[in-house]
Amino acid sequence: MSDTFRIGVVGLGDWARRAYLPNIELMDGVALAAVSTRSEGNLQAAQALVTAQPRVYRDWGALIADGGLDGLIVATAAPSHREVAEAALRSGLPVLCEKPLAPSTEDCDALAAAVAKGGVLLQVGLEFRHAPVLVATAGRIAEGQIGAPSLVQCEILRDKRDSVTSNPEKWTRLGGVFLEFLCHYLDVMCWLADGEPVAVGGSAGKRLGTEAWDHGAVFVEHDNGATATLAFSLFAPSGGERLRLDVLGDEGSLQVSLKAGEIRHIPAGGEPEDFRVPAPGHPSKPYPGSYEQIRAFVDAVRTGARPAVDAAVWKRVMAVATAAGQAVGGHRRVHLAR
């Protein structure tokens, strides 16, 4: 492998142009070497974002076959993730695949098998796992600063009314709102609860006149006794959007602001301490962790480290999100297979 990590991107849609290309452009020692898209409009929009002059392919298979890459980002439409990622893995090319990893558990298992057979790395794009403030939060929990976690609370209020009403199928396909949108928060909750999820329950409603669940609450029980709760709304009032995350343990609590990169540690019987991670002006675009997940992918390929989010982690996220949909749809508590 050369000193410069040569990365390719398959799929140049909106998310690739927002979360992958700008961050690659910011990285020392990483070069955008090849791209593939069937859309001339997407290609032109992507080329306007970068100074690199990568090889351009209409056929992603030719991009993989031509070689000359150290890693590949798969940012195509979700139904094609398995086909593209599996071809790359079989060729020995490490893959960072945007979420959802694949539409079914069978597809995920096939990709995991390709990883095991070829000994090549597969990372899934859940960027919050790499957000410095959440990595720091998980570190504090692991160090025992708040004791054993007992409750993780997440509240996500967004104004998605225009999208839900004008394009409702976006919020019902591929697992619906729980897998397509809330997967990031469900994953963070289970991560910080520091246990394995065993049951999911909840309630949700449809106030916007579509088949999409647009508000509700979900709880996830874990094998260590911790409970994680997620309250969400897709019709927050203008100016009232909010993301709040709290972790309560038997020896204190952590209040986390993902957007500001701030943690408030409140020890039992002690004075609160405030921390800021990282420093203002951090380059990650558009969300905390977007830059870091690409850097983590590059570093894992170089060092042989296991990625923080692999196929097994994604399958857990998929199981929890699927169970959430079943729980709110059937008004019941759903036990997860162990």
In the chain, where the domains are located: 5-120, 130-284+317-335
Domains 5-120 and 130-284+317-335 share a fold: no
* Homologous superfamily in CATH for domain 5-120: NAD(P)-binding Rossmann-like Domain (3.40.50.720)
R_g of the chain, CA atoms, integer Å: 20
Q: What is each CA distance from 122 to 109, 113, 129, 193, 219, in whole angstroms?
A: 12, 11, 15, 25, 29
- Taking alpha carbons only, the member of 184, 153, 157, 183 closest to residue 255 is 153
Where residue 283 falls among pLDDT bands split at 50, 70, 90?
A: confident
Task: Give 101-112 pLDDT, tens digit per residue.
Answer: 988 899 999 999
Task: Give 89-146 pLDDT, tens digit per residue.
Answer: 999 999 999 999 988 899 999 999 999 999 999 999 999 999 999 999 999 999 999 9
Tokens of 115: 């990883």
Q: Residue 124, SS3?
A: strand
DSSP assignment letter at 169: G
**CATH class assigned to 130-284+317-335:** alpha beta
Average pLDDT over residues 15-28: 94
Which residue carries 């972790």 as its tokens? Answer: 247
CA distance 280 to 261: 8
pLDDT, position 281: 62
Q: Which residues pair with 149 in a beta bridge?
A: 249
pLDDT, position 273: 95
Which residue carries 């609370």 as its tokens? Answer: 153
> Does the pLDDT of residue 280 top 60, yes or no?
no
**For the chain, percent of residues with pLDDT exceeding 90:** 88
Q: What is the mean pLDDT of the chain?
A: 94
Tokens of 333: 């508590």
> Does the pLDDT of residue 279 top 70, yes or no?
no
